[in-house]
Amino acid sequence: MTKPSPAGGRPVIRIVRQVVFPSALVVLASAAAVLAVLYFSAREMDRMEIEGTVHAVGANLVDRQRNIGRFVKDYAWWDDAFHNLVTRPNPIFADNNIGIAATRSLDMASAFVADGSDRTLHGFINGKAVGGNPTELFVGGIEKLIARAREAPPGEPVPTVGYLGLGDAIHIVAVAVFVPEVSGQRKPETGPRSFLIYSRAMDRAFLSAIESDYSLPGLQIVQPGMPVSDAHIALIAPDGTPLGALAWPPDRPGHRILTAALPGVLAVFFALAIAQWLLLRRSDRMQRQIAKVADLLAEKNAAQENNEHALQAAKEKVEHASRSKSEFLANLSHEMRTPLNAVVGFSEILEAELYGPLGDARYKEYSGHLLRSGRHLLELIDDTLDLSRAEIGALDLNEGVVDIVATAEAAVQMLSRQAEKASIAVTLRADFALPRLRGDERRVRQMVLNLLSNAIKFTPAGGRVGVHFGRCDDGGLKIVVTDSGIGIAGKDVERALAPFTKLESGRSQSNEGAGIGLSLTRFMIELHGGRLTIESAPEQGTRVTLHFPSSRTVAA
């Protein structure tokens, strides 16, 4: 009879080949897939944020161009301006209306008036009279703006606007020809018409106003040929000359989310690798035990060849152990397909000592840590992905008719053990004859779970948590979660609603969580067309209300 392989021989090699290598590949591939999804999601979020900011700043520049165009049109359509600036040039009138007045009241950096022969009649820069022809002072094709303005029909001035260089600055320049008012007594000019030029410098004051409107610190003008960030708007003159670019450091919310989530993801896969190593060590011990049993049976068979019944029973025992080992390894390979679920599943097996004692009490303690960490991180990743989809508008509702009382009771039941462990009493109260809600039942339950979990977490032992269902004054529905916990200062309420924010408190620092629940709940209630409100004060408890609009009520 052939003697079985000794302990630690070929069976161990088969385990390495059939289990260790495939399992390691699954873990590595899963880690790469999760990190790739997080990375590309963060990049897409950053791209959308930059495109939105560029669009908003571009619209602001167009609006400022229109405002300057309206100013130059108003003066070009004014009979007194034409009379005192063109037909009989009056320096005092010019200084009081387009000189110092334009600088102080209209924030104009320069103003010029020229007749039909392009002869400069008046010129001002920063409120001071200057000489020179504007076609020589401005860089970038002001002749094109003048030509287009003169092509306008005789009924009213049509201003033309563009970016031009003047001195060391880029200006928004508007040009309009003088046109008689409808009620005026003078006739239109014949031949080339006289025109008025206004310009606004894109100086520090101009940029500061845009910075304040859109919270864009670091907004600046970048010279042509200099490197610029993704967030910029090119400034092109009418003749195609690049004058520079309006640029600012881009906000990258996706990068912030990725930075916050990355340590947790890496920790999960590290914990998964440790759990896999522990399980494989146990499998190796089982294989060695099987090999020892086979050796013992072989020796007994040589000594007791006549005892067939005993040998058959021992053989069946060895085969049963081998099948148990094979089934165990097959289940292990199957559970490894989803890494985060594997962390939870394997941790539960270790903590319950399903296959026998682990041999050291510390193993049981570590498995409990792995189980809680795996569950916590799985919830964190689910919430983080939901939060990302919500900020870019990709979180959808699976709508149906929802019984909010039954849904909330299910949520309370799910958290009952947590409340009992914390010695906290949870009560439910509902107004009579409430209508149903048209919404997403899973999202409604998730909102109630988030609020209840926070209430239990921040309420000391012996405290109370209540859930009330009722009607709003506008006919909608409301879910109110109250607690007798540590409360929130008024100045910290808005910060508590921000993603990844955990308020500092001596009594709450030990609580788990990434500060996502409240912000995600607000996204989901707003997706239902409702709103979330918080009423709280330190040491006086907290009252959080979910308001659903009347348009989402359904008659019972």
Condensed to tens digits (0 to 9), the pLDDT of residues 447-483 reads 898 899 888 988 999 899 999 999 888 889 999 999 9
Q: What is the mean pLDDT of residues 55-75?
A: 89
399 neighbors 437 (Cβ within 8 angstroms): no
Whether 173 and 216 map to the same domain: the answer is yes
Whether 122 and 105 map to the same domain: the answer is yes
Report the pLDDT value the prediction gives residue 502, as an integer from 0 to 100: 64
Position 193 pLDDT exceeds 50 = yes
Q: What is the mean pLDDT of residues 169-184?
A: 81
Position 293 pLDDT exceeds 80 = yes
CA–CA distance, 475 with 232 (Å, rounded to integer): 47
Whether 324 and 370 map to the same domain: the answer is yes
Q: What is the mean pLDDT of residues 152-173?
A: 89
Q: Of the candidates 247, 267, 298, which is a domain's last residue?
A: 247
> What's the whole-number average pLDDT of the chain?
79
Whether 418 and 449 map to the same domain: the answer is yes
| 4 within domain boundaries | no
Q: What is the mean pLDDT of residues 155-164?
A: 90
Whether 228 and 281 map to the same domain: the answer is no
Q: Which domain holds residue 287?
A: 10-46+254-391
418 neighbors 453 (Cβ within 8 angstroms): yes
pLDDT category of residue 97 using cuts at 50, 70 and 90: confident
Report the pLDDT value the prediction gives residue 336, as an integer from 0 to 100: 39
What's the CA dihedral at 114, 119, 123, 129 to 10 degrees? -150
Position 45 pLDDT exceeds 70 = yes
CA–CA distance, 438 with 397 (Å, rounded to integer): 11
User: How many separate domains does the chain show?
Assistant: 3
Whether 467 and 353 map to the same domain: the answer is no
Whether 360 and 432 map to the same domain: the answer is no
Position 115 pLDDT exceeds 70 = yes
| 42 within domain boundaries | yes
Instruction: State which H helix or E strand residue 375 sits in.
Output: helix 361-391
Report the pLDDT value the prediction gives residue 480, as an integer from 0 to 100: 93
pLDDT per residue as tens digits for the range 317-365: 755 654 443 344 333 333 433 566 667 677 777 777 777 777 777 776 7
Position 184 pLDDT exceeds 60 = no
Report the pLDDT value the prediction gives residue 467, as an integer from 0 to 100: 92
What Rg value do the Cα atoms of the chain yield, rounded?
38
* Minimum mean pLDDT range among 192-196, 203-207, 367-371: 367-371
Whether 302 and 408 map to the same domain: the answer is no
Whether 182 and 260 map to the same domain: the answer is no
Other CB atoms within 10 Å distance of the CB of residue 134: 26
Whether 170 and 234 map to the same domain: the answer is yes
Question: Which residue intervals of 155-252 are DSSP H helices?
Answer: 204-214
pLDDT per residue as tens digits for the range 394-431: 677 888 999 988 888 888 888 888 888 889 999 888 88
CATH number for the domain including 455?
A: 3.30.565.10
Q: Of the candidates 212, 247, 282, which is a domain's last residue?
A: 247
Phi and psi based region of residue 233 (left: phi greater than 0; alpha: psi -120 to 50; beta: remaining)? beta
Other CB atoms within 10 Å distance of the CB of residue 219: 20
Whether 187 and 216 map to the same domain: the answer is yes
Q: Of the candidates 391, 413, 433, which is a domain's last residue?
A: 391
Position 387 pLDDT exceeds 80 = no
Are β-strands 464-471 and 138-139 bridged in parallel, bridged antiparallel, or unpaired? unpaired
Whether 89 and 176 map to the same domain: the answer is yes
pLDDT per residue as tens digits for the range 503-527: 655 444 445 555 677 888 888 889 8
Report the pLDDT value the prediction gives residue 145, as an integer from 0 to 100: 92
